[in-house]
Amino acid sequence: MALNPRFAGQKLAAHVSPYTMHTLEFYWDYVCPYSKKMFDTVYDGVFPIVKQKYADKVQFIFRQQIQPWHPSSTLVHEAGAAVLQTDPDKFWEFSKALFGKSAEYYDVKVVNETRNATYERLSKLAESVGIDGKKIYSLLKISDQPDKDGSLNTGNSVTNDVKLMVKVSVSHDEGVYWRLTSL
């Protein structure tokens, strides 16, 4: 499936080539322990081998998969979207750091925290990999005031990008379902 240019940071390739033969797409959730295991395996184990032996033949795409049964899933993926807007070349490094601290964003760690407080922590995590944390927070922060038109569901500066990510995920799931039921 094509990758929207605004999400180009989600691609990991040892050698950028228009002739890359194979693309592996992974649908991962930052607060899913199984996604963490798979990410760590791919990033630390598989990618170094691909980089060494198949640099111009294989690329990876990280599709952000929000899982609604993990309440903080949207928040952490919004942080990923903010990184893509701010410093896309740092997306995979940020993702590695976030998966490394993912347990800090599990349900019991965020249940008594405001949304903006979680965003503040995610912004500090972005700073730990050299991304402008203030910029990240400015993209994530939710206002406590109505919008100019009186709307109360104002979202933040990455809301539209996250909507696109969800649509890609849903269309992928429907396509997989259709292929499986058509067999």
Could you give the CA distance from residue 79 to residue 104 in angstroms, rounded to a whole number? Answer: 14
Whether 183 has a pLDDT exceeding 60, the answer reads: no
| Mean pLDDT (the chain, rounded) | 85
pLDDT tens, residue by residue, 127-164 = 999 999 999 999 999 999 998 999 999 899 999 989 98
Sign, CA torsion 48/49/50/51:
positive
pTM metric for this prediction: 0.85
Tokens of 139: 């993209």
DSSP 8-state code for residue 46: I
Whether 182 has a pLDDT exceeding 50, the answer reads: no
pLDDT band at 61 (very low <50, low <70, confident <90, very high): confident
pLDDT in the model for residue 115: 96
pLDDT band at 18 (very low <50, low <70, confident <90, very high): low
- Which stretches within the chain are classed as H helix? 33-40, 47-53, 73-86, 91-100, 107-110, 115-127, 133-140, 159-182
Q: Which whole number is the average pLDDT over 22-32?
A: 89
